[in-house]
Structure 1
């Protein structure tokens, strides 16, 4: 097991209304210093279909998120692991979500991009007063749902808070 510290800051600003939360960046995300960077992760293709656009660069993805009121972060700030699997995360220390909500009071809901991020968050912050929504994992390891089924879940959540 090797110790890791989250390698990049959250994407959010004072206009962020929804915050997508993963568990901890994959090795591919570490290498690219960006969220959901694994080439088979469905997160960005899902957003591209919902909003009918193409996001070619990390800069374009970040600008799109901020323009739409979408934030990105992870539940865990540091941990130990030996690979990218969520089942491999050990000695997890969470990010400070109480401070985050004080600094960004316009956030209306947290959307967890998988069960592990939801379970970790609930372990540390179950009493935090913010809407919490568990969405299907966009990881290629979660093959129990089709891309279309995942997209429908994300679209339903997004339309509740944002104009699409």
Structure 2
């Protein structure tokens, strides 16, 4: 049975953030941990660790990496309905989109939005396709998206993300 869920994890965002990485909506494991990309098989943090050669074991280390490299994290959906025990993007219904005009006005240094999968972009585009900001679709880091190898995902993220020297 589907129930209503609200996004309760605060964005990881800083005044000097330049890149906003958007997922669709937190997984059940992310809600349990209170942080983004918390499923142990999700490849998001291993990808960032490989790009920046920094530890990402704790929330503090993950937040510090984002701050240092001017990366913000959030999700496209503010609320939705889904089965309580199924985090799959195919399970998301009756979606309300976060207010990105307000967020981007509050953080004017953000110049690029990276989507971690098609559903994140579809949700965003439902209300904000018109926004004049650079947008790039990246492959999902979810364990459910196993058709692309880790190395291929790593290459695409490395190309899209700010390099340590920027």
Alpha-carbon shift at residue 162 of structure 1 (Å):
5.8
User: Counterpart of 2:105?
Assistant: 102
Unaligned runs of 5+ in 2: none
Q: Are 2:145 and 1:142 equivalent residues in the alignment?
A: yes
- Where do 5+ consecutive residues of structure 1 fail to align? none
**1:59-105, Cα deviation, whole Å (9 max, x unpaired):** 11012101210000000011110020001111100110000111000
Q: Distance in 2 between matches of 1:110 and 1:163?
A: 20
Give distance in 1, aligned partners of 2:94 and 2:161: 32
> Given the two structures, how large is their TM-score scaled by the length of structure 2?
0.95
Task: Provide the TM-score with structure 1 as the length reference.
Answer: 0.96
- Cα deviations by residue, 1:102-160 (Å, 9 ceiling, x for unpaired): 1000001000000100111112111011111000000011111000000000000014x
Q: How many residues align?
A: 163
Root mean square deviation of aligned Cα = 1.2
Contact kept, 8 Å, 1:69 with 1:162, in 2: the verdict is: no
TM superposition outliers: structure 1 runs of 4+ over 6 Å? none
- Alpha-carbon contact 2:54-2:65 (below 8 Å) kept: no
> Is this contact kept in 2: 1:20–1:112, CA < 8 A?
yes
